[in-house]
Amino acid sequence: MELEIEKILSQMTLEEKASLCSGADFWHTKAIERLGLPAVMVTDGPHGLRKQEGESDHLGLNESVRAVCYPSGAGLASSFDTNLIRQLGEVLGETAAGEGVHTLLGPAVNIKRSPLCGRNFEYLSEDPWLAGEMAAAYVQGVQSRGVGTSVKHFAANNQESNRMSVSAEVSERALREVYLVPFEKTVRQAQPWTVMCAYNRINGTYCCENEWLLDQVLREEWGFDGIVMTDWGAMNDRCRALKAGLELEMPASGGENDKRIVERVKNGLLDEAVLDEAVRRLLRWIARGNDPKAPAPTYDRQAQHEFARQAAGQTAVLLKNEGVLPLKQGASLAFIGGFAKKPRYQGGGSSHINSVKVTNALESCASLARIRYAEGFSVDSDQADGEKLQEAVAAAREAECAVIFAGLPDAYESEGYDRTHLELPACQNELIEAVAAVQPNTVVVLHNGSPITMPWLDKVAAVLEMYLGGEAVGEAEADLLFGAVNPSGRLAETFPLRLEDTPSFLNFPGNGKRVFYGEDVYVGYRWYDARKMEVFFPFGYGLSYTSFAYTDIALDCDRLDAQKKEITVKVKVKNTGARSGREVVQLYVRPQDHTDRPVQELKGFAKVELAPGEEREVLFHLDCRSFELYDERLHKWILPAGKYEIGVGPHSRSLPLRAVIEAEWRGSRLIDDTTTLGEVLDSGRHVAAIDAVAKALGVSDDAGTGEGLGAGTDQMMRELMRGLPLRRLVTFGGMTHEQIQDMIVDLVFG
Separation in Å, CA 665 to CA 143, 431, 566, 637, 672: 39, 58, 14, 11, 18
- Which of these, 587, 301, 527, 335, lies nearest to 445 by C-alpha position? 335
Cis amide linkage into residue 38, ω under 30° from 0: no
Query: What CA–CA distance (Å, rounded) separates 198 from 60?
Result: 18
- Determine if the peptide bond prior to 295 is cis (ω within 30°): no
Query: For residues 621 and 531, is the Cβ–Cβ distance under 8 A?
Result: no
- Tell me the C-alpha distance between 282 and 247, whole Å: 7
Whether 310 and 378 have beta carbons less than 8 Å apart is answered as no
CA dist 1 and 411 (Å) reads 43
Residue 47 · residue 76 · CB < 8 Å: yes
**611, amino acid identity:** A
Torsion 263-266-269-271 (CA) sign: positive
Number of H helices, E strands in the chain: 22, 29
231 an active-site residue?
yes
For residue 609, the one-letter residue type is E
Q: Which of 331, 328, 313 is nearest to 475 (CA)?
A: 313
3-state DSSP of 387-419: HHHHHHHHHHHHCCEEEEEEECCHHHCECCECC
d(CA 92, CA 67): 10
User: What is the rounded distance in angstroms from the CA atom of residue 28 to the CA atom of residue 45?
Assistant: 15
Distance (Å, whole) CA 31 – CA 392: 60
In the set 81, 231, 258, 691, the catalytic residue is: 231
Question: What does 163-209 look like in DSSP terms, one character per residue?
Answer: TTT-EEE--HHHIIIIISHHHHHHHHHH--SEEEEPSSEETTEEGGG
Strand spans (E) along 6-63: 42-44
In angstroms, the Cα distances linking 158 to 10, 119, 347, 415, 496 are 42, 9, 17, 12, 18
Measured CA to CA, the distance from residue 359 to residue 369 in angstroms comes to: 17
Pairing of strands 167-169, 201-202: parallel
Q: Alpha carbon of 421 to those of 310, 406, 502: distances in Å?
A: 32, 17, 11
Provide the greatest CA pair distance for the chain.
90
Q: How far is CA 39 from CA 25, 145, 404, in A?
A: 10, 19, 50
Asked whether the beta carbons of 389 and 377 are under 8 A apart, the reply is yes
Q: How far is CA 290 from the centre of its chain?
A: 30
Contact 27, 56 (CB under 8 A): yes
Give the 3-state secondary structure of residue 274: helix
Helix locations, 215-358, DSSP H: 238-244, 256-266, 272-288, 301-315
Active site residues: 231
